[in-house]
Amino acid sequence: MENSIRRCVMVVVFLLAGGTYAQAVGFVRPLTELNEPVGALPKSISVQIFPGEFETVVVGNSETTVADADGLEVEEFRLYTMRYGDIAKASAEGLNGYPPAVRGVLLNVPFYMAPKGMKCESLSSLAAIRIHVPRETPPGKRLVALKSGGLSVEVEVLPFQLPRAGIAFGMYWDCGRYPQEYLEGDWTQILEDMRDHGQTSVTAYGRDAAGEPVFLADGAFNPDPRNRLARHIQIGLDVGLLSSDIPVMMLSTDVDARQAVSLKAHAAKHGWPEIFLYSRDEPPRDAEAELEMAKSHAEFNALGFRDITAIAPESAWVMGEHLDVWVVHLDVTSALVEYARRLGAEVWTYNCMQRGTNPRFHRHYAGLYTWARKLKGNFLWAYVHTAESQVKPDGTWAPNITFEYVLPTPEGPIPTVGWEGRRDGIVDYRVMTLLEHEIFSNPKHPAAPGIATWLHDIRVRASADPWDGYVQHLMANNSPPWWRSYPWDHPDVVTPPGFEAGDYDAIRRQAVAYILKLREAPAGGSGADQ
């Protein structure tokens, strides 16, 4: 069927140790290692999962189905690819900015995790299973057995629940970019998906929804629950995505004094989070933009709101004094964080230059990157970038490879592997912050000093400049200038410096072991044997 979902017929190719391409089947491995050379083919792996949380693993057999999940909730997916074009040819000719170092390494990569029942042909040999441990599950080891290839996943259910992240994790998302026919109802499914992926905040929009303005003619906040802003925030609160202690960004704002008073009163009455008003998006580093930022900063503060916007690091240095919250594009250095602290500003981060094809990058960026730099927020552009990107009811497949992390369908959003990697990173962030809390709560525990040293060493390691050696590498290979602003993304085989794919699970496991140790009653001793 022409123009149908069959367009997604792709081939997933991995680089084997001998430097040749082949499809590998009959293995199971962590999602973080999705784009790594296949190497050894493990038939089983062990994963740790907190009650109430999820874990996704890759299965090298697309026909694999779950035989026994031992009381766990398991979803099955096929991994479908998006082709970038003839990358092999482009790389050989030095086109598209792919440097010689990656010539012949990668033809295409897995992208969407489509439900196995979805009618989409693919030559990919890869599948995935997503394991959910219900909150009431008692601790201990469980087995997820797969029907073919003798594959299995041992799940260790950990003996405590993980606290929610205490900072703003969110996705830029304008509901106008989502297929409107899939937004009928109350948006619950979308906001629950964000919640289940560890998000704690949203971008809410102040512009009018069709027929339901945010503010009435007299300046009063429109109490109609179909008001786009009210709908977004209230449903987010109802499903547990939002909470009163973590702020949200209100974009497309044009709030006068009467409206500000009414909005604040409505928010206080209904237990809403603090609302940040959005200033000029991504302001350039020039005098006109600085004057505009200074004016809006004064106006928003006078109305009783803090202001926020996405901003490049070089612009933050110049006009950061005219902004309460800086959402800095990726390159957040310790010097910039210290400068913001002196000005009394918060530093968040955002990224709009990655794709949903690299779970390892997204795990690092949401997790260790955000934790190490002590950031107060982390956002991505975008949950969905364009309403044309979707699987339509008639089966037509129209995906978008850039700027988005789910694919809308009539049955709900299909995740990308990067969206799953972001969830893993937020879990990493929560584990590391919990470990810090346990050290502060148990400073006299004999193991505390050694654990604090380990934690400090990980922070130093994760605080390395993400561009160390990267720009130099691109320049040495005559890559075009636009590639120099796309860290870790040429073309998804470049990964954060200083970390191997297996390091992330190892660090999390060690952190969990230290948490459990600190919760033990001290038995004396020096703590030398951690």
pLDDT in tens, 88-131: 333 344 333 333 334 333 445 678 898 877 766 555 678 999 99
State residue 92's pLDDT score.
40
Q: Residue 206 half-sphere exposure, CB side, CA atoms within 13 Å?
A: 19
Question: What is the domain partition of the chain in residue ranges?
Answer: 5-157, 168-429, 438-518
Write the pLDDT tens digit of every residue in 20-33: 223 456 899 999 98
State residue 498's pLDDT score.
80
**How confident is residue 35, by pLDDT bands cut at 50, 70 and 90?**
confident
State residue 105's pLDDT score.
39
Distance, in Å, from the CA atom of 185 to the CA atom of 415, rounded to the nearest integer, reads: 21
Instruction: Name the CATH code of domain 168-429 (choices 3.40.50.2300, 2.40.30.10, 3.30.1490.190, 3.20.20.80).
Output: 3.20.20.80
- For the chain, what's the residue count? 530
CA proximity to 416, closest of 109, 51, 97, 64:
109
State residue 383's pLDDT score.
95
CA proximity to 490, closest of 506, 502, 478:
478
Distance, in Å, from the CA atom of 490 to the CA atom of 499, rounded to the nearest integer, reads: 17
CA proximity to 181, closest of 398, 408, 395, 415:
408
Write the pLDDT tens digit of every residue in 220-229: 999 887 788 8
Question: Looking at the domain covering 5-157, what would its CATH class be?
Answer: mainly beta
